[in-house]
Structure 1
Amino acid sequence: MGGGRSKEGASRADFLAKLRGLSRATVAMNSSLTLAEVLQVVAEQARLVVGCHQSITSFTAGEDLSQAVNAISLSDKYAAWRTYDEKPDGTGIYRLVVEKNRPYRLTQEELESHPAFRGFSWAAARHPPMRGWLAVPIVDRRGENIGIIQLSDKFEGEFDEEDEQILVQLAQIAAVATDNARLYEAEKAGKKRAERSVKAREAFISIASHELRTPITTLGLQLDQIDLAIRKLPGGERFEPKLAVARRQLEKLNGLVTELVDVSRARAGRLDLQLEDVDLGEVAAEVVERMGEQAKLAGCAIALEAPAGIVGRWDRIRLDQVITNLLSNALKYGAGKPVKVAGSGDAAMAHLVVVDHGIGIAPEDQDRVFEPFERIKTMRAGGLGLGLWIVRQIVDRFGGRIRVESELGHGATFCVDIPRAGNPVDEDRVEPT
């Protein structure tokens, strides 16, 4: 029974990893503007999310598959074939996927014995060896085929039904991203192109983030059921650490999706505030206490210097989000050194300062850290690159400002100044609580 539980836990962990990969792929595709960029991202993300050595994505709009635009991603195992650029001749099993518009999942033996498979003809000597085949069509909103994603040589075992389902979802997201890229390229010479592509991008973020909510909620309920079952098992407590890891990863994934939702709301001008009297020191203390475990894992001691009594007209949840994102950033890049959260105020303004002693930020990168999806080369930790951008959006809505003071290798100090009376614009727009 224990072995079965362990296997089930490993399977769920693998599925969680694939969902996180799907979330990263969604953001990466949405950040790509040109068709070539989108196809390359799709090829790379499909290979990484499913876990295999070979991936090729083809854009096949039109009848002549030999004119397809291809993007290839190969692991180091096939490094010698990375210059391979031969296109399919538009017949055989590739044509079958395009015409039937449905996935195909075959072992190598099934592939070679399939009546539609014709090998690689004159290019066979240059084509990388294959081991199994998973192919999924990319279908546009009209139901017409516009491409195909092909995978081969899975890291472990054969491609299974879960791999196929994940790749189908990736192909659906790729269809939207491909359509956006084509729209961008077709209209990039005009003003209308910019307006339409931005709207399409924001709609894409909104749809993708909400679609990811359902499997996250389902996984949370399943983890609750597993927890109850484990508690009834003799010696079940030994599974608690693994269950805790799964919960943390699920919370992290949920946080990523929340960031995507906030991006959609902020860019649509719908980052609404519920204004009330809020104590900055009280909220800061709650955040520090809540993030104690994360600080412990990062090896950073947190010093809190924010006395009670700094009260202003703010949205409590959004203020919590500002402090949480800044503190999370400090712990992530603080190099295991102490972090300080300080608060102060005068008659008109409240001041929040978060200080770390980590890797620091180069002067030329300090404005970029507040841009969405920006990944500074010295800042390589996980995440979507949205946390600081969201902080700036909230601070702007508060009528305040944020700045960073930093040098490479000498940590970073993020300073937030917000009016205690709230943003006058929001007093008219938002119903206070």
Structure 2
Amino acid sequence: MTRQAVLEAMAEVKGSLGGVEAALARLADGPKPLMGWSLNGVFTRYLDHGSSQLTWLHGALGSATTLTDAASEVGDTDMELGLLRTTGPKLQAAQFGTLLLATWVDFLHLADAVLRNCPMCSAEKLFTDLHRVQGLMEPTLTDLASLDPERVEAATAAMPELMGRLTGEFDALQRETRATMKLGGQVIAAMQALELVTMISTMKMAMPRVPPSAPATLGVGLVMSSGGVMVGSRIAVSAEWVEMMRRLVRAGVISVPAVSAAVRIHGGQVMMAQAHQDLPKGVRDALGDSPEVRGMQVTGRAGAGMSDAPKHHVLPQEHREWFEQRGFKGDMDIDQFCVRLEQAHHEAIHGGGNWKLGRMWPGEWNRMIMEALQQAERRTGEMLTRNEILKIVAGRMKRYDIPMNFTAGGGR
């Protein structure tokens, strides 16, 4: 069920990303006006900025797909769940990255309408406005594109505040354009063109489409009215979406703060960006109001006391080449198989604080796991497959009480 929830979540993001990609293509291929400005020309850099985000977004989804496929073949339930959890940061980054890219496309649509229909508007000012908006998005996009779990989590937590600022920028740009149009007498055709881009992206791609069955309703959405005033509308999500998110949260694939941020953004609560507060009731209801959900607050890994916990390579780094020969490359590199352990636990499985002395203990993790793997190869008389290795490692992790909550560790 967890794997199915991951696949459904990826399908949602892929669908949204496909729509954004198509919109960028239409903007790039739009006809050039006989006179005046368009997004093609000096403004092309802003189209290119949007297109450049597609590479890492497709890469994140591709990586998540690879890990999901690998999880289905591993043959150990706990290891399968551990692999599915590694898709979380990639899926989370893709979800919020696509949301930001869709927001950027809305600014481009607005800019395109202004350039084509408002000769009285200053192209130089619009260029500067887009540059400022791009600067607001850039740090968060960079953190999301890193796919580093901690940076992705921090960027996710900051998204409601960022979307609040972007909503304000969009509203201000639209109001200034309307005022200029009225002064210039461009009240009919130009105003109609501007109406086409009055809905911000958080409404266009927010929640899944609602089936005819009875929906659950979360929050209040923001839609830009023709007068540039924010008005409320209800956002409905299907029971299927609620169940998908519940599974992902309970399995540890998606964090509760990420779901909270998504609901706040899509529910119009974009200014609710306090770092440490109880989750909104709508989020608790969506996830199931259980004690573990009630006890969770909007906080990152540092708030949970995890920032200083050492990362343990389950597959020993000094044998990297041995593992690479058996399929641990790319998205399945041994650096993806790290777990955070308490300092004492980490030292204990390595035979104490002195790693050289620890290697002399037969039960030391690196020595033990390599002996077990090499012994298995001698019995079969052939090289172990990646799945066979993971199955053996899963058994030893259970014996050493090591959780299968994998996170990316340091490389070479």
**Going by fraction, where is helix more abundant, 1 or 2?**
2
**Going by fraction, where is strand more abundant, 1 or 2?**
1
TM-score, normalised via structure 1 length = 0.27
Higher RCO structure, 1 or 2 (CA under 8 Å, sep 6+) = 2
TM-score, normalised via structure 2 length = 0.28
